[in-house]
Amino acid sequence: MVRCHLLDGRFVETDLPDLEAAVALLEERRTALHALSVDDIIELLARLGKEMVRDPVVSAIEGASYMSLWLRRDNLERLLSIDLVNREALDRFCEVQPGVLMRAQPRGVSCHWLPNNVPTLSFFSLMLAVLTKNASVLKVSEVNRGVLTAVLKRLARIEVDRNGRMISGSTIVETVCMISFDSSHLEANEMMSQAADIKLAWGGSEAVRSVAALPQKDTCDILLFGPKYSLAVFDQAFLAREDLDNALKPLAMDVALFDQTACSSPQVAIVERGAMSAREFAEHMARCLETLPRRMLGTRRPEARCLDIINVRGAYLLSEDKDIVMPGDLGWTILIDQDAGLPEPVQGKCLFVREVGDLLEAAEWLTRRVQTVALCIEDPDRRMAFANKASYIGVDRFVLPGSMNDFALPWDGMLPLGRMVRWTTIRRNDNDRG
């Protein structure tokens, strides 16, 4: 049995014996979404972003301000241009070279297995489908359902006059179905998978592998956003900055957001050996962490994670070749060592500081598992040398501190909007060209 929470624009609580009728309804409703221009959709979403910060229910959601900023018109246009080059290809055939026209058609019904560690990622997963005019089936949980419900209820109430033509956010909401069922329910997972024209799976290794293994249509594509690892690298020239604490405060924010459970959360800062010791770097980071709002340094977290933090603190306190900087509570922890390789994440704002002789040698530790690197190398040539080597090995993104958790495209090395569509073509002979 599948529990349905949203269907045909109505927020309900009902059981569905299967997904057949719901998918048939989505197929019918997505024709109205397809009839909207991509600029219509951008207009509705940009309006949603503005209204989210005014809505007391939506604005109370953690991450609402960021989601609102992400929905800015210029950001949506930029994301579409990065992925699709010409967003008008979502509305009509566009000439890409003489005699060749291309149009991006939605794949159809997108099915999303959503993450629980970062509820706002559920919102971004849905937005990828909306921007490309796909209908969506979302497998929600108690963690992310509240975020999506609040946002979609707000969107359903939005109406915009586009040059005398009224467009409504309800057209988008009617193409979304929210369901829930136990993750171990194989039959429900298989029903959802077989309904998909494209599958998006977020989560841990076992979760994404399970979704990938489910039976599906021969024509179904699949986007897997599995577990990833992120870090920061610093050379001594960067650490010699007079305003170093101002440069490190954004990294402290990256560490604190989502209690370090996101794929993009930095788990280790690799520091090149030199004038500033790892201990001095850790003390700078400690000061920056202490400047964060107290609500971000809260110690309420799962018991198992608290035990992990206590255990790793004990190991570092008892070791003769390791060091530690920490407050009296479990708000944050900085673990200092000179070990080789990448440490396993502890999370809960536990940042490893690992001192190395040469950052380029440390690049050998990186793998395809690494998503984001905060690249703090002052010299442009050394910075590019590191990026060339690390990206070849497997790193997807290089950013500045403070933007590690930004949901930008490409993501996990993919251009997902381009994967959410089918690229169709018309080729004409010279004699046929008008």
- Measured CA to CA in angstroms, residue 308 lies from 61, 300, 349 at distances of 28, 14, 12
* Pair of tokens at residue 181: 């069922």
Return the SS3 of 269: strand
Q: Is the peptide bond before 410 cis (omega within 30 degrees of 0)?
A: yes
User: How many C-beta atoms lie closer than 10 Å to residue 174's C-beta?
Assistant: 23
- Half-sphere exposure in the Cβ direction for 273 (13 Å, CA): 9
Per-residue pLDDT of the chain (434 residues; tens, 9 = 90+): 799 999 999 999 999 999 999 999 999 999 999 999 999 999 999 999 999 999 998 999 888 999 999 999 999 999 999 999 999 999 999 999 999 999 999 999 999 999 888 888 999 999 999 999 999 999 999 989 999 999 999 999 999 999 999 999 999 999 999 999 999 999 999 999 999 999 999 999 999 999 999 999 999 999 999 999 999 999 999 999 999 999 999 999 999 998 999 999 999 999 999 999 999 999 999 999 999 988 888 767 889 999 999 999 999 999 999 999 999 999 999 999 999 999 999 999 999 999 999 999 999 999 999 999 999 999 999 999 999 999 999 999 999 999 999 999 999 999 999 999 999 999 987 666 55
How distant is the alpha carbon of residue 171 from its chain centre?
25
Output the pLDDT for position 285. Answer: 98
Output the pLDDT for position 433. Answer: 58
* Pair of tokens at residue 350: 């536990």
Amino acid at the residue 238:
F
Closest CA to 194 of 126, 129, 108: 108
User: How many C-beta atoms lie closer than 10 Å to residue 164's C-beta?
Assistant: 5
Taking a C-beta distance cutoff of 8 angstroms, is the pair 184, 11 a contact?
A: no
User: How many C-beta atoms lie closer than 10 Å to residue 245's C-beta?
Assistant: 14
Return the SS3 of 204: coil
Distance in angstroms (rounded) separating the CA atoms of residues 138 and 110: 8
3-state secondary structure string across 314-369: HHHHHCCCCEEECCCCCCCEEEEECCCCCCCCCCCCEEEEEEECCHHHHHHHCCCC
Measure the CA angle with vertex 106, ends 101 and 107; round to 5°: 115
